[in-house]
Amino acid sequence: MMIVVWCIQAGGCQFSPVVSFRYHTAPVTSLEWNPNDSSVLAVSAADDQLTIWDFAVERDEIVTSSSAGDEDDVPAQLLFVHQGQKEIKELHWHTQLPGVIISTANDAFNIFRTISA
């Protein structure tokens, strides 16, 4: 599934996506911007993964021979992948505890912190 982020600021944007990426292999079930960091987005999908993205991160152009390989398939903006829940339905950032996400799924709900404040 492709996720596309568009700029909606009046007069400051072109008619093209700010960023787009393909990572999840099934439909997105929930997404939410981090209330404390406008460049961080959490996404859950029917592929039983919850991912956290930081669009302020750019891929480093300098690649050493020791760092080349499978990492090239992972987008630089991908910060975290949470797996283990079945049929994730919804996620929410905690508004008072920075970096904490609550996710609900068919088999359980999880509360975890992935970003230091």
Would you say residue 3 lies in a domain? no
Strand segments, DSSP code E, in 1-117 are 2-5, 19-22, 28-34, 37-45, 49-54, 78-83, 88-93, 100-105, 109-113
pLDDT of residue 41: 92
Dist. CA 110–CA 66, nearest whole Å: 36
Q: Is 88 a member of any domain?
A: yes
38 falls within a domain:
yes
Does pTM surpass 0.85? no
Q: How many domains does the chain have?
A: 1
In a domain, 21, yes or no: no
> Is the Cα dihedral 82, 94, 38, 45 positive or negative?
positive
In this prediction, residue 117 has a pLDDT band, given cuts at 50, 70 and 90, of low
**Parent domain of 43:** 28-113
Tell me if 97 is assigned to some domain: yes
Could you report the per-residue pLDDT of 55-67, keeping only the tens digit for each? 888 766 665 555 5
Residue 11 lies in a domain: no
pLDDT digits (tens, 9 = 90+) for 2-51: 677 777 666 666 667 777 777 888 999 999 999 999 889 999 999 999 99
